[in-house]
Amino acid sequence: MQREDEWESRPNGYQRGREDHERIDNNIRSIKMKIPTFYGKNDPDVYLEWEREVELIFECHNYTEDKKVKLAAVQFKDYAIVWWDQVQAKKRRNGLRPIRTWEEMKELLRDRFVPPHYISELHQRLQRWTQGSKSVEDYHKAMEIAMIRASIEESVEATMARFHSGLNAKIANIVELHHYDTLNELVQMV
């Protein structure tokens, strides 16, 4: 016997509680999601954003690895499709097996569209990161994105110091007069 607070899973993706007659749709696979187009521009940020969007879609679906590769490749346009066709043709000519998994495909894509020096350049840029003409919110978001892409994990205090040191002088001087414990408090205060 099912308690009132327990949920009963149904094969169609709906869940139903004993006393609950409303249907809750947890089957995200029923939502149509389109893989974004990738043009093969030489911009690592564009590639990494595309890769992340594709990853999110693949997390929602139970695709086979082969299907993931095909679905991603279908969205290649311009240079990306020419490059991909050349990679596949070269593998066939050399008697090598085709790319069969999303991880293999990502590795090839990263080798081509994310230069080896990209991460070290991000680290260098973050050392010189300043607000400039950006709003505080845009400055914070851009810094956070760069830190995530560079896989920087540091203490909250170090991140707050990084953020504070890049603020425009007038704003930084005002911030020094106030107390804050977290980066979000600092950003909100500014």
Q: What is the pLDDT of residue 43?
A: 92
For residues 9-37, average pLDDT: 58
In the structure, what pLDDT confidence band is assigned to residue 126 with cuts at 50, 70 and 90?
A: confident
**Any residues with CB less than 8 A from the CB of 161 and at least 6 apart, and which?**
none
For residues 77-97, average pLDDT: 94
In angstroms, the CA 183 to CA 123 distance is 20
**Any residues with CB less than 8 A from the CB of 83 and at least 6 apart, and which?**
40, 76, 112
For the entire predicted model, the pTM comes to: 0.63
Mean pLDDT, the chain, as a whole number? Answer: 82
Write the DSSP assignment of 29-45 as a string of letters: GGS---PPPB---S-HH
In angstroms, the CA 29 to CA 22 distance is 20
Contact between residue 130 and residue 166 where contact means Cβ atoms under 8 Å apart: yes
For residues 116-137, average pLDDT: 87
In the structure, what pLDDT confidence band is assigned to residue 121 with cuts at 50, 70 and 90?
A: confident
In the structure, what pLDDT confidence band is assigned to residue 7 with cuts at 50, 70 and 90?
A: very low
Contact between residue 13 and residue 30 where contact means Cβ atoms under 8 Å apart: yes
Write the DSSP assignment of 87-101 as a string of letters: HHHHHHHTTPPPP-S
Contact between residue 21 and residue 59 where contact means Cβ atoms under 8 Å apart: no
Q: Across-strand partners of 38?
A: 76
Q: What is the pLDDT of residue 17?
A: 52
Q: What is the pLDDT of residue 129?
A: 84
Model confidence over 160-177: pLDDT tens digits? Answer: 888 888 898 888 888 788
In angstroms, the CA 143 to CA 130 distance is 9
| pLDDT over threshold 60, residue 24 | no
Burial of 142 (0-12, 13-18, 19+ CB in 10 A): middle
Say whether 136 sits in a helix, a strand or coil.
helix
Percent of the chain with pLDDT strictly greater than 90: 35
| pLDDT over threshold 80, residue 68 | yes
